[in-house]
Amino acid sequence: MKMDLRSNTWKITKYFPSSKAKSCLFGKYGFCVSIHLIDIEAVGNWAKAEKSVAYSGYTDLASRDEIYDLIYECVESVNVDLARDYKLRGSQILRFLILHKELDADDGELTRTRKVRRNIIADRYQPLIDALHDESKTHCSIETEMTFEDGRKGTVEADLRIMNLQKINTPVHAKAA
């Protein structure tokens, strides 16, 4: 099922230094999911200093258990805030993954001013979106073409882990009069 990301995107209003960009996708599927990009500099520094994690690049760092745990805590924190809001409690993120590569203007995924081209992302990463909405899936394999800094083209293959979160049921704040 193809999604129009322009009409079905809800941006998380709480930002975390570890996450560079994120989109929550929902609509016809019935629950929210998110795709995260990590900030390699911020997360890399944290991983080295706090967890003594060595890594070989973005794809390696993004696949680490420690990084998934970090993003899990961030998403869970957002869900706690959403659960407290009467109008937003149904928008809790129930599944997420960390994208295996940074979005890049040379790959057509961003404009030159670094804005996400949502329709291209929806087309290119549709298998990930479908896997996130298939509750029986815990991983999704993907092969993506990318352009290197020197202009050469290559492919990046990854088996991305899908994390599940429990819906949080907390008392709702009273509505203002």
Q: What single string gives the DSSP state of each residue in 129-143?
A: HHHHT-TT-SEEEEE
Please enumerate in sequence order all residues whose Cβ is within 8 A of that of 52, keeping only pairs 6 or more positions apart, or say none.
none
Q: What is the pLDDT of residue 14?
A: 38
What is the pLDDT confidence band of residue 27, given thresholds at 50, 70 and 90?
Answer: low
Calculate mean pLDDT across residues 84-113.
Answer: 90
Measured CA to CA, the distance from residue 46 to residue 126 in angstroms comes to 31
How does DSSP classify residue 7? T
Q: DSSP 3-state helix, strand, coil percentages of the chain (rounded to 5)?
A: 30, 25, 45
Calculate mean pLDDT across residues 102-126.
Answer: 89
Q: What is the pLDDT of residue 135?
A: 93
Measured CA to CA, the distance from residue 117 to residue 134 in angstroms comes to 24
Q: What is the pLDDT of residues 38-61, one digit of tens each?
A: 989 989 999 999 999 999 999 999
Q: What is the pLDDT of residue 142?
A: 95
Q: What is the pLDDT of residues 71-93, one digit of tens each?
A: 999 889 889 988 998 888 888 99
Residue 12 above 70 pLDDT? no
Residue 172 above 80 pLDDT? no
Q: What is the pLDDT of residues 133-147, one digit of tens each?
A: 999 999 999 999 988
Which residues, in sequence order, are bridge partners of residue 22?
36
Strands of 19-25's sheet, edge to edge? 9-10, 19-25, 32-38, 93-98, 163-164
